[in-house]
Amino acid sequence: MKASEFGLGFAGMAAFLAGSFAILPSIAIETVLALFVVEAMPLLFLNAMAEEFVKFFGIFAIIYASDKFNTEETVFIAGILGFGFGFSENALFMALAPSQKALEFLSFRTIAPLPMHVITAAALGLGIAKGRNRLRWILLMFLIAVIIHFAFNTFFILMQ
């Protein structure tokens, strides 16, 4: 079965939904981490790792539902999952904004993370596509995604 027969569009919709719902286990993991880690930088790193871990399994599940996706399609599907994740994360932040000032800050916050989540998810997708027989690709791209995410979070916190 070719990827076009499986439906790249269907996989894209599944990826967006998987990314949108991946925020839930991510929040649960991050909440547990916050109970045990009190320093900001280690917590930011672990939160980035948790989010990338959850996104990785969403991408992995969709790609391995049909192992016929090529590298470009896998990266594309992964990017859509990242977009869904960022979209849901931003919607949650906006819904929980405590004040108008926080809402103004969050309006910037909703723009910046979307490309970051797309980029890190695409890196994970590249690792999955290239790492079908080589674990080092998966680990390398996972590490790159975590570092990008951590650097973004750190920069964002320092801007406040």
The number of beta carbons lying within 10 Å of the beta carbon of residue 148 is 17
Q: How far apart are CA 7 and CA 36, in angstroms?
A: 43
The number of beta carbons lying within 10 Å of the beta carbon of residue 69 is 24
From first to last of its 160 residues, the chain has per-residue pLDDT tens of 454 555 778 888 999 999 999 999 999 999 999 999 988 889 999 999 999 999 999 999 988 776 678 899 999 999 999 999 999 988 887 777 666 666 666 666 667 889 999 999 999 999 999 887 788 999 999 999 999 999 998 987 787 6
Count of positions (residues) in the chain: 160
3-state DSSP helix/strand/coil % of the chain, to nearest 5: 85, 0, 15
Q: How far apart are CA 22 and CA 79, in angstroms?
A: 14
Q: Which residue has the tokens 């997708």?
A: 125
pLDDT of res. 1: 44
The amino acid sitting at 140 is L
Q: How far apart are CA 24 and CA 88, in angstroms?
A: 9
Asked if 121 and 81 count as a contact pair (C-beta separation under 8 A), the reply is: yes
pLDDT of res. 100: 63
Q: Which residue has the tokens 């859509």?
A: 80
